[in-house]
Amino acid sequence: MKRLLISMLALCAIAVAQARPTERSITSPDGSLKLTVTIDKDIRWSVTDGSTTVIAPSQIAMQVGPEEVWGVNPILRKATTGSIDERIPSPLYKKAEVEDRCTTLTLSFKGDYAIELRAYDNAAAYRFVSTRKAPYTVKHEVAEFNFEDDNMVYCSYVRSNEKKSFAEQYYNSFEGPYVLEPMSKMGNNRLMYLPVLVDMGNKKVCITESDLRSYPGMYLYNSNNDTGLESNFAPVPDKITQGGHNMLQGEVQTAKPYIAEVAGARSFPWRICIVADNDAELLNDDMVFRLSQPNAIGDTSWIKAGKVAWE
């Protein structure tokens, strides 16, 4: 009887331990920026810069297939921390080389996926990584950016009237002017494209992304007219017809019920929050370049930099 009681108490203790939220955190090399991940029924990240909460707890998730969602009821298998301290050659960039110095955290979960996170002195970033070999589709990715206060936001909306659906807004020229307005006053039916700049008064927070390959660019919108932004993605085109200006554009007539097709193991785009004390720091920032895919062609000496019109 005594052994049975001890066994039952041990099982209860294990159940309670498993039910408690798990926290993992890393700090930037200079100790100023802290990135925290809370693992419970879902996965949320938050960022502080000194005593300032830059990103309040915000959900991270990715739906793959009809029912499987990475980041919902997650089971953590392993947490690994590390650091990076190197210089990236950048002969065709505005600088000859870019410093890449940060603290890293990799969280591996049951289900063949992981989340890689990085804490820089002036930025935080994360991305999903999958080791799954079989093909699958991504139906949606949840990327939230919540704030404690009703900050002013510099954003560029898709050029459209507010009566257009999201599906209609996906077809746009990405040429909208930037506007400045309180986050809570943003319409919940208007998409904005990146980058988006949040003015917290004492800090500027730039939300952007990097390393997009075979994946749609991220839109943001304010779904609840509150102090948070969340992601939205255009689906994979199904039927395309030639049209538009001078019949030069492919117009999507129908779309598939997912945003990406994945052939096997891969990493997904980085979600980035750049933190700056002033506008000048933003102009000199290298985060998008730093987190882009490494040089895959080897020798680049034959490429001569020059002027271009458009891309």
What confidence score (pLDDT) does residue 80 get? 98
What confidence score (pLDDT) does residue 120 get? 98
Long-range contacts of residues 8-14, Cβ cutoff 8 Å, at least 24 apart: none
DSSP annotation of 245 = G
Q: How many CB atoms lie within 10 A of CB 28?
A: 21
Q: How far apart are CA 57 and CA 60, in angstroms?
A: 10
What confidence score (pLDDT) does residue 23 get? 96
Q: How far apart are CA 114 and CA 77, in angstroms?
A: 9
Beta bridge partners, 24, equal 37
Those residues of the chain that have pLDDT short of 50 are 1-17
Give tens-digit pLDDT for 59-91: 999 999 888 999 999 999 999 999 999 999 988
Q: How far apart are CA 37 and CA 46, in angstroms?
A: 7
Residue carrying the six token digits 């891309």: 311
What confidence score (pLDDT) does residue 172 get? 87
What confidence score (pLDDT) does residue 162 get? 66
Whether the Cβ atoms of residue 119 and residue 207 lie closer than 8 Å to each other: no
The amino acid at 149: D
Q: How far apart are CA 20 and CA 41, in angstroms?
A: 10
What confidence score (pLDDT) does residue 6 get? 43
What confidence score (pLDDT) does residue 250 get? 85
Whether the Cβ atoms of residue 164 and residue 296 lie closer than 8 Å to each other: no
Q: How far apart are CA 111 and CA 115, in angstroms?
A: 12
Q: How many CB atoms lie within 10 A of CB 88?
A: 16
- CATH T-level fold of 19-290: Beta-galactosidase; Chain A, domain 5 (2.70.98)
Which pair of tokens denotes residue 35?
A: 């990135």
What confidence score (pLDDT) does residue 311 get? 59
